[in-house]
């Protein structure tokens, strides 16, 4: 009967001159009859066990609310239709207050209220529905204005009605679900109405009055949260308290959205995550931890939309530009929030915030490097300077995370260290050794000693070596040895490129290789191998001695494959003579120091007198 009665609302809704009064009378009469005869536990309805939400009781009221909503939308928000809709929403709150079986109708009431106000906002702002290319002729919504005053009065009635009733309903039922539904409607409805009014009146632009309204709403939700926290434990109160706390922070986030623009909103939402984490320490409401993670997710999605935070207004000053505030402050906020969250548990919200902290720290470094290397032109192609700085910073962050994970034992720090190491390795191989290799491409490396070679090859070699020692004993032997191997490759590359810089100047890719240069390569590699051997003997490092053996073996291979065919005269003789002397010296060192294991003889026993 109810289904067919609601279907009877549809005839005439699409007519040009809609008769609002008959339709309004139909839904009001049907609602009253459903409330009197169908809703369990109310007036003449069937009896039901206390605290149970009955589907037919709730859906019957929700069906007539749906009909009233259709009348409002079809009549372009006619005054009579709005008044009838307001009466039915108020009656739904009244019936649900006295008959818990109809509590489910609160969700339908909240949803229809939001749809009415959202449609009103879009109806007054037709450009919100039109693509940037513009609407076709004769197609698109019609901007029909209706009584702003009536809508504002309705908004105030709905916000106060849902909010106050939802708060007062706490503790009235022995069922847990009843107060939760009331609190959810009390929080969601005022926020939804405020968003719709903001879109309708402020046209999604910066608005201080709406920011003040959002702050007042947050204060009301905060007072409700504090009041519920002090109450005795009742079914559903814990979840309801979390919902009101969520509404508090959500309203504050809206206030920041209404009042701020560009990068400040990103910073404010990140600080909201920190504030939520701190509040979770003072008020241990479980959902607050998730809310801190949700704010972190929103900020992450925001930078995905525009990585430059403020578009083209980043600025040209190195380091101290909008990237520092847009990425640095959120990174600091997430690190601080993770400290607060870790004090209570190591759970999914903590890991989400820790992930955001690592992500924003890495993005801060990468974006600042790109800004510095391109002089503020963020879309320029990469360079050797950019790749070098990225590798150094990435390896430094990986070392820091390796140290941090030993204390925190966090899986996020663990995975983050591995990911940063992998990123650093990929940039090293494909960026420094292939895409921006000065031996292959025409690149000005700079001065004789302090140049891009020092930054791009020597410093990464040192950082790789430190990273390999940081993971020794904590990760697999292959993992550590692979990083150490990378350090050896880059150190040898630096020696080679620096020698070529001495012969060819700042452009290494031009000019032929002379016999003196080829001989210098051999001498330089031998000296590097001997240096590694000396370090390995002094600190008793097997890894350094193996690296020395690899370098010297490579030098021997070069002598027989390259030097013998390219060097002539005195350079060929000197190459093999130096190689022979070094090999003899190494053999002597191994015999005298490493292979000599003489044990001092025990002292002779004293002769007895």
**Angle at which helices 542-558 and 515-538 cross, to 10°:** 160
Contact 66, 25 (CB under 8 A): no
Res 124: pLDDT: 63
Cα–Cα distance, 269 to 360 (Å, whole number): 14
Which pLDDT belongs to residue 262? 62
Give the pLDDT score at 137.
43
Q: With beta carbons less than 8 A apart as the criterion, state whether 8 and 14 touch.
A: no
Query: Would you call 46 exposed, middle or buried from its count of C-beta atoms within 10 A (0-12, 13-18, 19+)?
Result: middle
If you average pLDDT over every residue of the chain, what do you get?
87
Nearest CA-CA partner of 20 in 76, 87, 89, 61? 76
Q: How far is CA 437 from CA 450, 460, 511, in A?
A: 17, 14, 16
- pLDDT for 440 equals 93
Separation between Cα atoms, residue 299 and residue 302, nearest integer Å:
5
At 400-431, the pLDDT tens digits run 999 999 999 999 999 999 999 999 999 999 99
Q: pLDDT tens digits, residue range 62-95?
A: 999 999 999 999 998 899 999 999 999 999 999 9
Q: Phi-psi category of 41—alpha, beta or left, where left has phi over 0 and alpha has psi -120 to 50?
A: left
Q: What pLDDT score does 139 carry?
A: 41
Is the model's pLDDT at 600 over the cut of 50? Answer: no
- Cross-strand partners of 507: 444
519 in Cβ contact with 489 (< 8 Å): no
Name the helix (H) or strand (E) containing 444: none
Taking each continuous run of H as one helix and of E as one strand, the counts in the chain are 23, 0
Assign 13 a pLDDT band (cuts: 50, 70, 90): confident
* 8 A C-beta contact, residue 162 and residue 186: yes
What integer pLDDT is reported at residue 246 of this predicted model?
Answer: 85
Q: How confident is the model at residue 601 (pLDDT cuts 50, 70, 90)?
A: low
pLDDT average, residue stretch 201-209 = 86
Model pLDDT for residues 504-518, shown as the tens digit of each residue: 999 999 888 888 898
What tens digit of pLDDT does each residue of 91-136 get? 999 999 999 999 999 999 999 999 999 999 887 665 554 444 444 4
363, 304 contact by CB (below 8 A): no
pLDDT reading at 30 higher than 50: yes
Residue 286 makes CB contacts below 8 A (sequence gap 6+) with 242
Buried b (16+ CB within 10 A) or exposed e, 7-24: eebeeeeeeeebebeebb
Q: For residues 299-328, give the mean pLDDT.
A: 83
Containing H/E element for 113?
A: helix 105-124
Query: Residue 364 in contact with residue 327, Cβ under 8 Å?
Result: yes
Lowest mean pLDDT among 202-216, 470-484, 518-532, 551-565: 551-565
What DSSP letter does each residue of 158-184 carry, written as one string? Answer: HHHHHHHHHHHTTTS-SSSHHHHHHHH
Q: Please report, rounded to a whole number, the percentage of residues in the chain having pLDDT higher than 90.
A: 56
Q: What is the per-residue pLDDT for 360?
A: 95
| Phi-psi region at 48: left, alpha or beta (left = phi > 0; alpha = psi -120 to 50) | beta
């Amino acid at each position: 009967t109810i289904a067919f009665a609601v279907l009877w609302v549809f005839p005439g809704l699409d007519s040009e001159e809609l008769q609002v009064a008959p339709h309004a009378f139909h839904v009001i009469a049907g609602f009253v009859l459903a409330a009197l005869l169908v809703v369990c536990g109310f007036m003449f309805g069937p009896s039901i066990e206390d605290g149970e939400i009955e589907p037919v009781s709730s859906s019957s009221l929700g069906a007539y609310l749906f009909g009233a909503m259709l009348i409002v939308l079809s009549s372009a928000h006619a005054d009579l239709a709005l008044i009838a809709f307001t009466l039915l929403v108020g009656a739904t709150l009244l019936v649900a207050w006295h008959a818990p079986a109809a509590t489910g109708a609160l969700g339908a009431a909240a949803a229809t209220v939001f749809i009415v106000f959202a449609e009103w906002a879009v109806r007054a702002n037709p450009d919100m529905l039109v693509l940037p290319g513009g609407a076709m002729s004769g197609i698109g919504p019609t901007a029909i204005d209706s009584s702003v005053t009536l809508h504002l009065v309705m908004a105030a009635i709905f916000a106060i009605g849902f909010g106050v009733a939802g708060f007062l309903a706490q503790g009235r039922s022995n069922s847990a679900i009843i107060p939760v539904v009331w609190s959810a409607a009390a929080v969601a409805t005022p926020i939804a109405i405020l968003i719709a009014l903001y879109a309708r009146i402020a046209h999604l632009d910066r608005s201080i009055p709406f920011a003040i309204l959002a702050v007042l709403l947050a204060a009301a939700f905060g007072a409700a949260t504090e009041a519920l926290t002090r109450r005795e434990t009742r079914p559903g109160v814990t979840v309801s308290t979390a919902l009101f706390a969520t509404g508090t922070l959500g309203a504050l986030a809206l206030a920041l959205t209404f009042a701020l623009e560009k990068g400040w909103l990103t910073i404010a939402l990140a600080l909201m995550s920190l504030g939520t984490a701190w509040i979770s320490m003072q008020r241990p409401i479980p959902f607050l931890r998730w809310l801190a993670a949700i704010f972190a997710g929103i900020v992450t999605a925001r930078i995905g939309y525009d990585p430059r935070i403020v578009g083209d207004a980043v600025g040209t000053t190195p380091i101290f530009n909008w990237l520092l505030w847009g990425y640095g402050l959120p990174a600091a906020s997430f690190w601080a929030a993770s400290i607060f969250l870790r004090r209570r548990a190591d759970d999914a919200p903590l890991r989400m915030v820790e992930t955001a902290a690592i992500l924003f720290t890495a993005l801060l470094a990468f974006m600042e490097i790109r800004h510095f290397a391109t002089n503020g032109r963020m879309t320029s192609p990469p360079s050797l300077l950019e790749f070098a700085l990225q590798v150094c910073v990435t390896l430094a962050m990986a070392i820091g995370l390796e140290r941090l994970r030993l204390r925190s034992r966090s899986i996020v720090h663990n995975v983050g260290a591995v990911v940063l190491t992998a990123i650093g390795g990929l940039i090293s191989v494909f960026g420094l050794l292939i895409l921006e290799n000065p031996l292959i491409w025409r690149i000005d490396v700079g001065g004789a000693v302090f140049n891009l070679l020092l930054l791009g090859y020597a410093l990464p070699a040192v950082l790789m070596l430190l990273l390999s020692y940081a993971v020794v004993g904590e990760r697999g032997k292959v993992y550590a040895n692979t990083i150490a191997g990378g350090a050896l490759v880059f150190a040898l590359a630096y020696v080679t490129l620096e020698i070529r810089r001495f012969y060819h100047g700042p452009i290494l890719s031009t000019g032929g290789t002379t016999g003196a240069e080829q001989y210098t390569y051999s001498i330089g590699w031998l000296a590097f191998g001997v240096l590694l051997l000396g370090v390995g003997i002094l600190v008793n490092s097997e890894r350094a001695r193996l690296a020395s053996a690899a370098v010297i073996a490579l030098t021997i291979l070069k002598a027989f494959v390259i030097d013998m065919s390219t060097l002539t005269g005195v350079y060929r003789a000197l190459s093999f003579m130096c190689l022979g002397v070094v090999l003899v010296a190494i053999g002597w060192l191994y015999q005298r120091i490493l292979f000599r294991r003489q044990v001092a003889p025990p002292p002779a026993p004293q002769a007895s007198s």
